[in-house]
Amino acid sequence: MELSGRKFLVTGGAGFIGSHLVDTLLREGAGEVVVFDNLVRGTQANLDSARHDPRLKVFPVERADLMDRTAVAEAVQGVHGVFHMASHCLGACQENPRAGFDANVVGTYNLLEACVANDRPRVLFSSSSSVYGNARYVPMDEQHPFNNRNFYGAGKICGEALCRVFHAEYGLPYVALRYMNVYGPRQDYRGTYVAVIMRIIDRLHQGLPPIVNGDGSQRFDFVYVEDVCRANLLAMEKDATVDEAINISSGSSTSVLELCRRIMALMQRELPVEFVPQKTDVLVTHRVGSTEKAATLLGFTASTPLDEGLRQTIRWKLNRRDG
């Protein structure tokens, strides 16, 4: 699909990843971008850079509810592609599983149903590496067993299954993108695995020792938000790629302790690390994704080095604090 001049819907478009995607779509020449976000987690400030672009249309916040089938049907009218980013996060799903199920599973069903009734636009479903749980082998390819043990991951598994059924029954074109640990400017404190970045920056800025849960040996695959946006655009453009689940990853693992030391080096703040007991047993401790399928089907390879992504994140965080 040619992106230029086309109309796109971004659910969760005022969120961390969604707002960056909105910026990217506008920069790449989209004709119109509709944001559907109830601001439960997203913020108006995340849309500041796009707000004055006449191609940006923000669906009324008070009606932007995936449980409202009428509103969802209205939002998808006339769109050529849908980026389904809206989701309750892992922590919110653990705290209130029913609300998480409604938003992440029933809401996804409502959106897919509306798409079928409105000329079947191409759908990109934002899934998650949470479907895999802890790694049984690395790198984790898309055939890795679903070893999930939390409500959030269960919802993403359901979402992928719904996409597959809507494709089989109604020919709805879709691709599911399984993000590894996405980080970058505009991230908040609710991301279960990447919020550690914000907390380390905060502590160091205050002259306090950074806090690490457990012994810091947990290893994750950190992928920069701008790379994730580029992967989404490539997946939207590749019409021939349908009914697929694809990892979006850097292909490298970094321990939390190493992450902490990199941030200290970038901020030029060397302080002793304070280790505290791990808080919950739903967290995974080892995850790194295979990049092969994304490279083959989408032509995607993450290009932002971790230090550069962290540098951009630190700059944004400190400028935001000062502002």
CATH number at residue 111: 3.40.50.720
Supply the residues annotated as catalytic.
152
The answer to whether 236 touches 124, Cβ cutoff 8 Å, is yes
Residues 199 and 99 in one domain: no
Query: How far is 294 from 157, CA to CA, in rounded Å?
Result: 19
Residues 117 and 16 in one domain: yes
163: pLDDT strictly greater than 70: yes
pTM above 0.85, yes or no: yes
The pLDDT value given to residue 194: 85
For residue 179, give the nearest of 323, 16, 61 by alpha carbon: 16
The answer to whether 61 touches 71, Cβ cutoff 8 Å, is no
Residues 201 and 149 in one domain: no
The answer to whether 197 touches 187, Cβ cutoff 8 Å, is yes
Residues 15 and 153 in one domain: yes
The residue range of the domain holding 283 is 195-219+253-287+312-322
Percent of the chain with pLDDT over 70: 98
Q: CA neighbours within 13 Å on the CB side: how many for 292?
A: 7
Token pair, residue 182, equals 């996405």
The answer to whether 12 touches 108, Cβ cutoff 8 Å, is no
Token pair, residue 208, equals 């306090």
The pLDDT value given to residue 190: 85
Instruction: Please name the helix (run of DSSP H) or strand (run of DSSP E) that holds residue 80, with its range, or none.
Output: none
174, part of any domain: yes
Residues 15 and 38 in one domain: yes
Residues 138 and 150 in one domain: yes
Residues 139 and 240 in one domain: yes
In this prediction, residue 322 has a pLDDT band, given cuts at 50, 70 and 90, of: very low
Residues 126 and 263 in one domain: no
Query: How far is 55 from 303, CA to CA, in rounded Å?
Result: 29
In the chain, the number of structural domains is 2
For residue 65, give the nearest of 26, 30, 36 by alpha carbon: 36
188, part of any domain: no
CATH number at residue 202: 3.90.25.10
Residues 97 and 199 in one domain: no
279: pLDDT strictly greater than 80: no
Residues 99 and 207 in one domain: no
163, part of any domain: yes
